[in-house]
Amino acid sequence: MLRCDHENDTVPTQHDIRTATMRHKIHSPIADESPPILPDDIIAAIFLRLPVRSLLQFRCVCKSWKTLISDPQFAENQLQLLTANPTIAHQHLAFSTVTQTCKIVSFPVKPLFANPSSPVVPISVEMNGRYHILGSCNGLLCLYEFKLGCVRLWNPSTRLMSKTFAVIDDIVIRCHGFGYDPVNHKYKMLVVMGDFNEPATKLYTFGENSWKTIQNFPGTPPTGPGKLVNGTLNWFANEEGFDCNQRVILTFDLVKETYGKLSLPKQDNGDSIFNPVLDVLSNCLCVCFDHSGTLWLMKEYGVTESWTKLMIIPRGNGWEARYQRSFRPLCILENGVILGKTPCSSLVRYDTNTGMYNYPSILGKLGLKLHVYHENLVSPL
């Protein structure tokens, strides 16, 4: 077994060792000798790839493991690994429900790909308040509490919530975005409040517990949540004085706190742009055009020439066509299988190799707004 500094004579079980070493067998050269000890850096490398639930259990094994797993640098290394190599193994989908009580519901993505015919069992966490998810970043969910009008950060994997919070003094939020400033290492939230004639754009920096009023969006402000890529929030916006074919992507840089614009990919044969969907796929900005079913990926953020046609999702006939409209991509595998969502709250799994559709489900009702997050140990405190 792995040697550690014991607390209360607690030792890892055989199951713990098999899980922690990820099937790396430890053989003793001589049967009568004690097994060799894995170096600390090897143990850390193994732990970085384990699920959060296992890591939380392993903190109770011994002092050295607790110190390693509780170290903020370990959480940072885990986040960097997940960001550089995003896989569905640690990806989850989350949504909020508000009935008599508020719950945050989440479920893993991997079973939806592995066996779409078996409903996935979600995990529900009852919240002390009525929360709506504004966005996700680095495994943290940005939650808006209706009654108090405040915003908190929450890690659904560790169940930790930030102590400080932002108070929004206007119940009308027309536009919002949540993300991470990688230069100053701060989480920030942008909101546009007020009516159409006199909108107020404000930026909140978590940790500093400070609001500041910033320049309004150029032209008409967008609506809805901004999509986070490379430290920048992104929305669809219409150029004033142009038709829908001149639609652009409006951006806000969380580091420089400045606005910008990106051009959409050029349409084949000058097709009209109708009901496009803007989202994030494999850490890249993506656009799905409803009229053609074409999915585009911006391989290098900010470089218009890097728009790449990823696939065309064909439309079915009859009732199936209704489920395929306004396809919102959520996750994709390297083998060309993609998972998405439709406006009628149905999950759709499409295999580009076979052209086949599946409709995976979860036990219970699926929320209207799904948020993708990577399970990790990042602290919201």
Strand-pair category, 173-181 with 224-225: parallel
Residue recorded with tokens 């799994």: 349
C-alpha distances in Å from residue 61, one per residue of 19, 23, 38, 40, 185: 13, 19, 16, 15, 32
Instruction: Give the 3-state secondary structure of residue 203.
Output: strand
Closest CA to 195 of 216, 178, 213: 216
Closest CA to 347 of 372, 335, 330: 330
pLDDT tens-digit map of 292-332: 678 899 999 999 999 999 888 876 554 455 555 567 889 98
Helices (DSSP H) in 88-192: which residue ranges?
A: 110-114
pLDDT tens-digit map of 323-375: 555 678 899 887 888 998 877 768 888 888 888 888 888 888 888 889 999 99
Q: DSSP secondary structure string, 276-301? A: -EEEEETTEEEEEETTTTEEEEESST
Confidence bin at 202 (pLDDT 50/70/90): very high
The domains located in the chain, with CATH, are 14-70 (no CATH), 88-374 (2.120.10.80)
The H or E element that residue 98 is part of is strand 91-98
* Average pLDDT of the residues of the chain: 81
- The b/e string for 56-81 (b: 16+ C-beta within 10 A; e otherwise) is ebbeebbeebbebbeeeebbebbbee
